[in-house]
Structure 1
Amino acid sequence: MIQSPVEFFRTLPKKVCPECGQVMQEQAESYLMECDRCLSKKVE
């Protein structure tokens, strides 16, 4: 049975920062892999 696109996106796992493991709040058109806190540490 083929899954509907709506169900597919609803069941995707939450996006997690690979550096600290914090669950990230996803935003439209964002391809960032790290959370804001980890990204700010890299800039300093």
Structure 2
Amino acid sequence: MIKSPVEFFRTLPKKVCPECGQTVKEQAESYLMECDRCLSKKME
């Protein structure tokens, strides 16, 4: 049976930072994979 789009997006797993394993707070229109902490380390 085909899921509704709402149900599909509701059941997606949380995005996890590949560097540290922390759950990434998702934002609309964001394609970032790392968490804010790991991103700020890369900017230094």
Aligned to 2:35: 35
Aligned to 2:12: 12
Aligned to 1:23: 23
In percent, how many aligned pairs have the same letter? 89
- Runs (4 or more) in structure 1 with deviation over 2 Å come to none
For 1:16 and 1:27, how far apart are their aligned partners in 2?
13
Deviation at 1:17, TM superposition (A): 0.3
Contiguous gaps of at least 5 residues in structure 2: none
TM-score of the pair, normalised by structure 2: 0.94
Q: Residue by residue, what CA displacement relative to the aligned partner does 1:1-44 show, whole Å, maximum 9, x if unpaired? A: 11111100000000000000000110000010101100111111
2:23 aligned partner, one-letter code? V
Q: Give the alignment's Cα RMSD to 1 decimal.
A: 0.5
Contiguous gaps of at least 5 residues in structure 1: none
For 2:29 and 2:6, how far apart are their aligned partners in 1?
18
1:3 aligned partner, one-letter code? K
Pairs aligned (count): 44
